[in-house]
């Protein structure tokens, strides 16, 4: 993956583009998922630390696995944000 980290705002905009919505905050971790009733609803929420300026590569990778999205797709889409 050519990306080392992604600015938080850019990553959150990408989540919104993908159709995920804010669910809740636990400690400093914001959680996102598809809306209730959406057939794409994930069994595990996508988690992002809201106090960080950038989302680290490890967190991006974990969230991509949760969403079932490959790295190449993410790299192509994140360029637009």
DSSP state of 52: -
Instruction: Using 50 as the pLDDT threshold, list the residues of the chain that sit under it.
Output: 1
Amino acid 4: pLDDT: 82
| DSSP assigned state of 39 | T
The predicted structure's pLDDT at residue 55: 96
Nearest to 64 by CA among 11, 21, 10, 8: 11
Q: Average pLDDT over the chain, rounded to whole?
A: 94
Contact status, residue 31 vs residue 46, Cβ threshold 8 Å: yes
Domains, the chain, with CATH or none: 5-78 (3.30.920.30)
Q: What pLDDT is stored for residue 69 in this prediction?
A: 96
């Amino acid at each position: 993956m050519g990306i080392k980290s992604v600015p938080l705002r850019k990553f959150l905009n990408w989540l919104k583009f993908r159709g995920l919505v804010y669910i809740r905050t636990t400690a400093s971790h914001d959680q996102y998922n598809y809306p209730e009733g959406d057939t794409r609803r994930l069994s595990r929420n996508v988690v992002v630390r809201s106090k960080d300026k950038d989302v680290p590569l490890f967190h991006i990778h974990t969230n991509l696995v949760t969403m079932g999205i490959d790295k190449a797709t993410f790299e192509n889409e994140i360029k637009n944000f």
